[in-house]
């Protein structure tokens, strides 16, 4: 089904660009939905098999991390949710989120290399801000939100949702321009959304298959080396309150270890990095 009539992306275009066998075995594309995560979640509840990819040109209630909303102008970003049924235990959930960030980072690196080879601009250096924001030059280019449902202590399904600022012009960012950016701004040209999505889903499938085979080590190492946070002074809004100090390292469960002024190490399992000095 393709419910979109005006934008440049169609299910057929995505299908023919994909190199995957699992992710995108079914693709749904909508002009407007409340949230692609919700559509994929409903499919999961109906018992649909994994691999479904839900895309939208616009979301009226896009969901972000920590209960925030995710806003993106119509038709220029990638708003995507993937339905997965992991076989590994739910305690490894954080690997799914970091796999999505790593897949996006790998796709950015690929794009940057291809551009450089064609003499079309400089390198787009991409890093990850703990835990999973994909960043270019200190600005956010993409966010990931995984939402899980369980049955009898095991996973029923996971919806992995990501929003990527692809062809978002600087003017559209408004006051977010100091904290967010897009691929087209960084590459100084319009980006092929379908090609980029296909690249992300290809990378994501390889990472997901690694995880399904129990190989979490290489994913952790890649995440660790992609992280820009360790070594920096940070202020984290965490479940236990505000934690300030120097980020020293990350743990295998994804926690950030912060050394406070008093020299105490605090583990932050989930939270949000605030700009330093923010109230
Ligand atoms: C974040 O807060 O950084 C995560 C944002 C995740 C947004 C994406 S857009 C596609 C998918 N559908 C949603 O409702 N949210 C995710």
pLDDT band at 1 (very low <50, low <70, confident <90, very high): very low
pLDDT in tens, 49-87: 999 999 999 999 999 998 899 999 999 999 999 999 999
pLDDT band at 276 (very low <50, low <70, confident <90, very high): low
Could you tell me if 11 and 29 are in contact, meaning their C-beta atoms sit under 8 angstroms apart?
Answer: yes
Atom of ligand 1 nearest to the CA of 38: 14
Residue 95 is given by DSSP the state H
Say how many Å lie between the CA of residue 71 and the centre of ligand 1.
9
pLDDT of 123: 81
pLDDT of 5: 37
- Picking from 210, 229, 256, the residue whose alpha carbon sits closest to that of residue 87 is 210
Lowest mean pLDDT among 65-74, 225-234, 270-279: 270-279
pLDDT of 106: 98
Q: Helices 193-212 and 93-117 sit at what angle, rounded to 10 degrees?
A: 140
Say how many Å lie between the CA of residue 64 and the centre of ligand 1.
5
Atom of ligand 1 nearest to the CA of 68: 2
> Does residue 279 carry a pLDDT above 60?
no
> Does residue 2 carry a pLDDT above 60?
no
pLDDT in tens, 170-224: 999 999 999 999 999 999 999 999 999 999 999 999 999 999 999 999 999 999 9
Say how many Å lie between the CA of residue 39 and the centre of ligand 1.
13
pLDDT in tens, 78-131: 999 999 999 999 999 999 999 999 999 999 999 999 888 888 777 899 999 999
Query: Can you tell me the mean pLDDT for 20-36?
Result: 98
> Does residue 156 carry a pLDDT above 60?
yes
234: helix, strand or coil: strand
Number of other residues whose CB lies within 10 A of the CB of residue 252: 12
pLDDT of 3: 44
pLDDT of 8: 74
DSSP state string for 133-177: EEEETTEEEEEEEEEEEEETTEEEEEEEEEEE--S--HHHHGGGG
Average pLDDT, the chain: 93
Say how many Å lie between the CA of residue 81 and the centre of ligand 1.
8
> What is the Rg, in whole angstroms, of the alpha carbon atoms belonging to the chain?
18
């Amino acid at each position: 089904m393709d419910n979109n009539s005006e934008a440049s992306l169609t299910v057929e275009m995505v299908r023919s660009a994909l190199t995957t066998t699992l992710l995108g075995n079914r693709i749904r594309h909508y002009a407007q939905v409340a949230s692609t995560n919700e559509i994929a979640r409903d499919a999961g509840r109906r018992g649909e098999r994994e691999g479904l990819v839900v895309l939208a040109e616009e979301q009226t209630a896009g969901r972000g991390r920590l209960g925030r909303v995710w806003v993106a102008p119509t038709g220029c970003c990638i708003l995507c949710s993937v339905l997965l049924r992991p076989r590994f235990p739910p305690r490894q959930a954080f690997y799914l989120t970091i796999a999505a960030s790593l897949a996006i980072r790998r796709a950015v690196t690929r794009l940057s290399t291809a551009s450089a080879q064609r003499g079309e601009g400089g390198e787009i250096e991409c890093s990850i801000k703990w835990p999973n924001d994909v960043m270019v030059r200190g600005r956010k280019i993409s966010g990931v939100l995984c939402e899980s449902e369980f049955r009898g202590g095991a996973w029923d399904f996971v919806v992995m949702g990501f929003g990527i600022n692809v062809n978002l012009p600087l003017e559209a960012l408004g006051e977010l321009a100091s904290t967010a950016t897009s691929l087209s701004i960084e590459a100084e040209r319009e980006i092929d959304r379908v090609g980029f999505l296909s690249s992300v889903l290809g990378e994501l499938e390889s990472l997901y298959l690694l995880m399904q085979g129990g190989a979490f080590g290489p994913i952790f190492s890649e995440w660790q080396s992609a992280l820009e946070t360790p070594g920096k002074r940070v202020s984290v809004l965490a479940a236990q309150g505000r934690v300030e100090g120097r980020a020293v390292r990350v743990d295998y469960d994804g926690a950030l270890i912060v050394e406070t002024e008093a020299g105490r190490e605090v583990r932050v399992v989930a939270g949000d990095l605030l700009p330093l000095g923010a109230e």
